[in-house]
Amino acid sequence: MRILARLRARRDTAYDNTYHHKLQGRIWGALEDSPYDDLHDENRPMPFVYSNPFPPEDMREGDERTLLIASPEEELLAYVAADLKDNRELNIGEMPFHVEELTPVAPDVGDPGTSGTIETGTGVLVRIPPWRFEAYGLDIDHDEAEFWRPEHTMEPFRNQLEANLDKKHDLYCPEYLPGPSEVKGDLFDGYELLKTFAIPVEPTTGQTETWVLSKWRFDYTVRDDDHRRHLNLALDVGIGERNSLGFGFVNIQDHDE
């Protein structure tokens, strides 16, 4: 489930690529005093992810931008939508917008047998924990989590991605249904790496770090209802880590009918 927000720039503004922490703060502000407020300080995957305000270009007053906010919790999206309707100023750091319109959308990868492509709209964060270095044959000279890079090969990327989605499945899907690692078959048929890049990120107020991210195109063919649920969960909560900062937001690029 998603909210599509049509935004209008309130003045000439340079696009701020370090919008993550500021936009996250606006969404948590919308959830203040809601049943989701207490999640803020918990160390677990959060039940929401969002796109960048796109297209990511400098803007003139009156220009339009679009923002998508996704969650497996319809009630959470209702709180966010109600707040954005009541407080239509959406200031993302130095990018001031007015919320013009809000529309619910419900993307779906399709019935079993459907083939398609999912593409990342924002960078994916995958970190390899130090206790997995030896298992992956990695010669890493530090004991901190290692940002995934192409030279680490695809195995750790696929494994960490699936393990992360397992956690989200445990949190947001009925416990009697199998998670991604409990079924036969891969989450995706194909993994096409589009690029890796590093950006400054403010994970907490006043603390800036450089994170290595990647963008991808994933091919899929829906095997059965379990696989469909796993792929749709990825659409609702994102893939990889720190989705509440806007990383790992994915869109259906195309699929057959």
Domain ranges for the chain: 2-105, 114-256
What is the per-residue pLDDT across 70-81, written as a single tens digit (0 to 9) for each? 999 999 999 999
Residue 257 has pLDDT above 70, yes or no: no
| pLDDT (0 to 100) of residue 255 | 74
Catalytic entry in 38, 41, 86, 141:
41
CATH 3.30.70.1890 fits 2-105, yes or no: yes
- pLDDT band at 203; cut points 50, 70, 90: confident
- For residues 147-159, average pLDDT: 96
- For residues 2-7, average pLDDT: 97
CA-CA distance, 123 to 23, in Å (whole number)?
15
What is the per-residue pLDDT across 224-247, written as a single tens digit (0 to 9) for each? 999 999 999 999 999 999 999 999
| pLDDT (0 to 100) of residue 236 | 97
Q: Is the dihedral of CA 38, 124, 74, 95 positive or negative?
A: positive
What is the per-residue pLDDT across 16-59, written as a single tens digit (0 to 9) for each? 988 999 999 999 999 999 999 999 888 899 999 999 999 999 99
CA-CA distance, 4 to 101, in Å (whole number)?
8
| pLDDT (0 to 100) of residue 40 | 86
For 153: left if phi > 0, alpha if psi spans -120 to 50, otherwise beta; the answer is: left
**Any catalytic annotation for residue 58?**
no
Q: Which CATH number fits domain 114-256: 3.40.50.150, 3.30.70.1900, 3.40.228.10, 3.40.109.10?
A: 3.30.70.1900
Neighbours of 142 (CB within 10 A): 8
| pLDDT (0 to 100) of residue 254 | 82
- For residues 196-209, average pLDDT: 88
Rounded to two decimals, the pTM is 0.94
Determine which helix (DSSP H) or strand (DSSP E) holds 236, and give its type and residue range: helix 225-237
- pLDDT band at 256; cut points 50, 70, 90: confident
Neighbours of 210 (CB within 10 A): 9
Q: Do domains 2-105 and 114-256 have the same CATH topology?
A: yes
Mean pLDDT of the chain: 95
CA-CA distance, 189 to 116, in Å (whole number)?
10
CA-CA distance, 229 to 146, in Å (whole number)?
30
Residue 206 has pLDDT above 90, yes or no: no
